[in-house]
């Protein structure tokens, strides 16, 4: 699971609503795989990123060199975009967990794939 994805996920346990974001990320196995750098795509993603959630997740994965926020004129800032490209797209959690901050419910990540299924009792009506 990439950090871009983590930034888009929220818990849907019954009753938590917006307090289900962001999910707390823990990882027991992480890998870094190179992905071709596409500055236009990365620049498009910047406005959609919730920075506090990203920084928290990156911190749990002990990543270094994570920008603290978008720079002025980031669309043309290649250094910034390359760092964001790495953080959002090249770091993958292979085994780990995502935890709902409100209910404590844990969603496992196995072989890089999160399992977000809940029982009927746990979900929103």
Partner 1 sequence: MALPCSLNRYLLLMAQEHLEFRLPEIKSLLSLFGGQFTNNQETYGKSPFWILTIPSEDIARNLMKRTVCAKSIFELWGHGKSPEELYSSLRNYPVEKMVPFLHSDSTYKIKIHTFNKTLTQEEKVKRIDALEFLPFEGKVNLKKPQHIFSVLEDYGLDPNCIPENPHNIYFGRWIADGQRELIESYSVKKRHYIGNTSMDAGLSFIMANHGKVKKNDIVFDPFVGTGGLLIASAHFGAYVYGTDIDYNTVHGLGKASRKNQKWRGPDENIRANLRQYGLEKYYLDVLVSDASKPSWKKGTYFDAIITDPPYGIRESTRRTGSQKEIQKGIEKCPESHVPVSLNYHLSDMFFDLLNFAAETLTLGGRLVYWLPVYTPEYTEEMVPWHPCLKLISNCEQKLSSHTARRLITMEKVKNFENQDQYSHLLSDQFLPYQGHNSFREKYFSGITKRIAKEEKSSQE
Residues near partner 1 (CB under 8 A): 1-2, 4-5, 7-12, 18, 21-22, 35-36, 38, 40-41, 44, 48, 50, 89, 108, 110-121, 123-124
Residue among 21 and 83 whose Cβ is closer to partner 1: 21
Distance in Å, CB of 44 to partner 1, minimum: 6
Residue among 16 and 64 whose Cβ is closer to partner 1: 16
| Cis ω before 22 (30° cut-off from 0) | yes
Distance CA 105, CA 101 (A): 8
Residue among 50 and 59 whose Cβ is closer to partner 1: 50
Distance in Å, CB of 46 to partner 1, minimum: 12
91, β-bridge pairs: 32
Q: Which two tokens stand for residue 48?
A: 């959609």
Q: Which two tokens stand for residue 53?
A: 């959630």
């Amino acid at each position: 699971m990439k950090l871009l994805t983590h930034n888009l996920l929220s818990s849907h346990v019954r009753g938590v609503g917006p307090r289900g974001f962001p999910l707390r990320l823990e990882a027991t196995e992480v890998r870094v795989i190179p992905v071709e750098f596409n500055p236009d795509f990365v620049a498009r993603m910047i406005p959609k990123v919730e920075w506090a959630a990203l920084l928290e997740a990156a911190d749990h994965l002990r990543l270094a060199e994570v920008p603290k926020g978008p720079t002025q004129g980031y669309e043309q800032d290649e250094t910034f975009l390359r760092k964001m490209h790495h953080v959002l797209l090249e770091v993958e959690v292979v085994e780990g967990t995502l935890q709902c901050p409100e209910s404590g419910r844990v969603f496992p990540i196995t072989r890089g794939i999160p399992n977000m299924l809940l029982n009927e009792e746990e979900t929103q009506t």
